[in-house]
Amino acid sequence: MTLLRFRDVALRRGVVTALDGLSFEVARGERVALVGPSGCGKTTALRLAAGLDAPDAGAVEWPDGRPRAGIVFQDPTLLPWASAFDNVRLPLRLAGADGAAARARVEEALALVGLADSARLRPRELSGGMRMRVSLARALVTGAELLLLDEPF
């Protein structure tokens, strides 16, 4: 079953062609890696898949409807004043979920990435790798059907 489909997608930024004629499908449960040199359009494709940008031509399709997607950007993009726990809880809070169930989901996501003991730390108190794992936990906490990871390693 196809989760995501790019059909002849093109995107231009001024005089720069970021993508031109990109076509592929991602099936439910499949792992796909976009590999290429710096500047070839990998991040642009992820932003299109996340719905953060729209193509100039072609189509980005979700045959079964837009899935819940979690995205981990190249940089952690954490709230500097918030704890690791609160950074992971953010998408749940924005969706109106709070209380014991939300707290349990955040604790589970932090444990999954090995940061259960670091929940109270602020980003400045975490190593670079730990900050990336907080970002990953934030993407996982929503129960995303599609994980978009932009240079996560």
Q: What is the pLDDT of residue 134?
A: 97
> What pLDDT, on the 0 to 100 scale, is given for residue 71?
92
Q: Which long-range contacts (CB under 8 A, 24 or more apart) does 11-15 make?
A: 11/41, 11/44, 11/48, 11/53, 11/55, 11/56, 12/56
Interatomic CA distance for residues 49 and 101, integer angstroms: 29
For the CA atoms of 88, 93, 45, 13, the dihedral, rounded to the nearest 10 degrees, stands at -110
What pLDDT does 1 receive? 86
62 DSSP assignment = -
**Cβ atoms 82, 140 nearer than 8 A:** no
**pLDDT for position 32:** 92
Listed as ranges, residues in the chain with pLDDT below 50 are none
Q: What is the DSSP letter of 22?
A: E
Instruction: Supply the DSSP symbol for 37.
Output: -
pLDDT in tens, 33-53: 999 898 889 999 999 999 999
Nearest CA among 73, 140, 89 for reference residue 112 = 140
Cα 129 → chain centroid: 16
